[in-house]
Amino acid sequence: MIVSSPGNQSVKRIRALRQRKERDRSGLFFVEGIRIVGEALEVEAPIEECVVAPDLLTSDFARRVLHRLQDFGVPVLEVTSSVFQTLSLRDNPQGIGAVIRQGWDDLHAVRPGGELCWIALTGVQDPGNLGAILRTSDAVG
């Protein structure tokens, strides 16, 4: 069954994850986009639920990601493209998103090693600053 109401309880619960208070309370967060959902699957992130708008899934890669999620037993919530738009922060959503359980390690338990690069941030006010830091780090290698 495809959900067509933005007032659906599952849709409202996912939309509430836009608020930090709800992310902190639930221990969940929402990501959207084919690449990020595919990467979450690759690193075996604890995906609780997948949200898809079948009309927006136009690429073979997106369909493969969806099939892999289903193979792993991830519940899939199908919604109309207009309902997905209410969940999306993008102008042109790709029609796939995932609700993922947050994973936190105590900072004292983290031991950097090998050739890993570690970045620790606190109190980042502007998401653009975080993006610049990540892009710079990626460029440096």
Would 16 be classed as within a structural domain? yes
Does residue 117 lie within any of the structural domains? no
Tell whether 71 is covered by a domain. Answer: yes
Give pLDDT tens digits for 61-89.
999 999 999 999 999 999 999 999 999 99
Q: What phi and psi, each to the nearest 5 degrees, are found at residue 5?
A: -110, 125
Which carries the bigger pLDDT value, residue 132 or residue 37? 37
Q: What total number of domains does the chain contain?
A: 1
- Range of the structural domain that residue 59 is part of: 9-105
Q: 């959503």: which residue's tokens? A: 93
* CATH number of 16's domain: 3.30.1330.30
In a domain, 63, yes or no: yes
- Give the torsion sign (CA, 18, 23, 28, 29): positive
User: pLDDT tens-digit profile of 5-22?
Assistant: 999 999 999 999 999 999
* DSSP letter, residue 19: S
Query: How many CA atoms, within 13 angstroms, populate the side-chain half-sphere of residue 123?
Result: 0
Q: How far, CA to CA in Å, does 34 sit from each of 40, 43, 106, 115?
A: 10, 14, 30, 29
